[in-house]
Amino acid sequence: MKTIFMGDLHLSADRPDISQAFIDYLNSDLSDVEALYIIGDLFEVWTSDDIAEPFTDVIASHIKQVSARIPVYFIHGNRDFMIGKLFAAKSGMVLLPEIKVLDLYGVKTVVLHGDSLCTLDKAYQRFRSFRNSFLVKWTYCHLPKSTRQKIAADIRSKSQSSNQDKSYVIMDVEQSAVDELLAKTQTQRMIHGHTHRPAIHELADNKQRIVVGDWYEQGSILIVDQHSTKLEKLPF
């Protein structure tokens, strides 16, 4: 048996090829999969459950078919942090906290989206702290739909613009943040996404940091079983 991790699919109506690749994977033979973890940025943008785009109902129905057989877990990303209980119920996904510790085939593993590890990006971390505030989320959810859509579009535009001016180092995870989280959670392995730089990093003291790939040019999954960890590409 094996466990699958994926993230950074960034599904959107204008990239049906990515959506189809995801659906194809969900419809493939998963009989030897005992759990599926989607670790953030399933969607390119998520304004809120009550104004989701129509294509997301199709995505939810396919996830639901899988979640009826095996557990499907979800950790919020920086693009879809407003996914709530309504979509979770529609898709059958179990919403997890932003940092989850697992006993994964005998290896204590911490799983997260990964944006919290990019501590050199001070501007983003300030924004992240602001939007994670309960008061900010409550206020946002009670705004008119048109206002929420405009805010989401503005945030997305500003994020894309600012990222063009940021260096590789600033947009990657900071090693001290990785070490701190591994120590805090007393884990041996870390699995995250966000940076779009898939790799298996061997760290000191036999520890490991694994980054799942994005789905822009091909699908990408991480397969973990009792004996190995493997990153695999899924051609569109």
What CATH number is given to the structural domain containing 209? 3.60.21.10
pTM greater than 0.75 (yes/no)? yes
Please name the residues in contact with 128: beta carbons below 8 A apart, sequence gap of 6 or more: 78, 115, 116
CA 236 to chain centre: 20
Number of structural domains, the chain? 1
Residue 115 tokens, joined: 């944006």
The torsion angles phi and psi of 46, rounded to 5 degrees, stand at -135, 105
Give the range of the structural domain holding residue 14, as residue numbers without chain letter.
2-234
Taking only the tens of pLDDT, the chain with its 236 residues reads: 999 999 999 999 999 999 999 999 999 999 999 999 999 999 998 988 988 888 999 999 999 999 999 999 999 999 999 999 999 999 999 999 999 999 999 999 999 999 999 999 888 889 888 888 888 888 888 888 888 888 777 777 765 555 554 555 566 899 999 999 999 999 999 999 999 999 999 999 999 999 999 999 999 999 999 999 999 999 88
By CB atoms closer than 10 A (0-12, 13-18, 19+), residue 40 is buried
Please name the residues in contact with 198: beta carbons below 8 A apart, sequence gap of 6 or more: 211, 212, 213, 214, 220, 231
Residue 227 to residues 100, 107, 182, 192: CA-CA distances in angstroms? 22, 11, 21, 20
By CB atoms closer than 10 A (0-12, 13-18, 19+), residue 211 is buried
DSSP 8-state symbol, 68: T
Cα–Cα distance between 112 and 95 in angstroms, integer? Answer: 12
